[in-house]
Amino acid sequence: MRITRLLLIACIAVFHIGSGLAAGEAGGNTAVSRFSAAMLTGPGTGADNESDDAPIQVAHRSAGKAFLLSMLVPGTGEMMLGNRKMAVVFFSTELTLWTSYFLLNWFSDVRASDYRLYAASHAGIDMHGKDDQYYVDIENFTDISAYNQAMLQQRRPQLMYPENTSYDWSWDSENAMNKYRRIRINSDQFKNAGLFMIGGVVLNHLISGIDAVRIARKTPASSSADRSVHVHVAGLPEGGVRVSLWKGF
């Protein structure tokens, strides 16, 4: 019978610990839930006469959870831990980086459309079915014949374009060719800047995760912001046992 009672206490304790760990974070206030159970083998409760046995404390630190949340969405780990100032910093940084990324790519696409239309107007190219390398090649040679001759001299005939086809081009002036080159390079610059924004996003996630761990470890276990689950087990003089649980959330 005593073993059955102890197992019942253990099951209830595990249930409350699991419920506590799954409990959501709410505001900055601390609500404490307590559960006490006494299973006695003799008469009387003796609730106020606990033994001198040291209490057993199980503390669930939220550093790991905060790290994962901030790695997924920067600032969420800080928000969970109650540090709204840092949460706003990482949220704002993330929003700025992604906004910059999409704007830079949009500018790159606009400039790409500009240089293709410009080449069609001043070099007579057919834009259909051309890859990026083609648009790089036409900026360095006045026409397709000059390009193919250069490839033959460099012993790279596999890079030649068939003449008298849709790959033909001929710039109407050297100034036009140089202007085209500047527009195309400008498009690439916008695209490369967008890639730097992606690097910034990755770095922001990593820094936010590390910061969330720092905040979780810095928060005292006894502070009102503590989300730990605690278990207190003490024997009673009459031969029973008392279990107390509490969880701040």
- Per residue in 136-165, pLDDT tens? 999 999 999 999 999 999 999 999 999 999
Distance CA 96, CA 117 (A): 32
Structure tokens at 183: 């527009």
Q: In Å, how far from its chain's centre is CA 119?
A: 41
Distance CA 50, CA 233 (A): 10
- Per residue in 46-68, pLDDT tens? 444 444 444 333 334 578 899 99
Question: What is the DSSP pairing of strand 32-39 with strand 229-235?
Answer: unpaired
- Digit-by-digit pLDDT tens for the chain (249 residues) are 444 444 444 444 433 433 343 344 333 333 333 433 333 344 444 444 444 444 333 334 578 899 999 999 999 999 999 899 999 999 999 999 999 999 999 999 999 999 999 999 999 999 999 999 999 999 999 999 999 999 999 999 999 999 999 999 999 999 999 999 999 999 999 999 999 999 999 999 999 999 999 999 887 654 444 554 454 556 667 666 565 655 555
How much is the pLDDT for 221? 54
How much is the pLDDT for 199? 96
How much is the pLDDT for 34? 40
- Reduced to 3 states (helix: H, G, I; strand: E, B; else coil), residue 35 is strand
Q: What region does 240 belong to: left with phi over 0, alpha with psi -120 to 50, or beta? A: beta
How much is the pLDDT for 96? 97
How much is the pLDDT for 244? 64
How much is the pLDDT for 219? 72
How much is the pLDDT for 101? 97
Give all strands (DSSP E) within the chain, no chain letters: 32-39, 229-235, 241-248
Decide: pTM greater than 0.75.
Answer: no
How much is the pLDDT for 245? 53
How much is the pLDDT for 159? 95
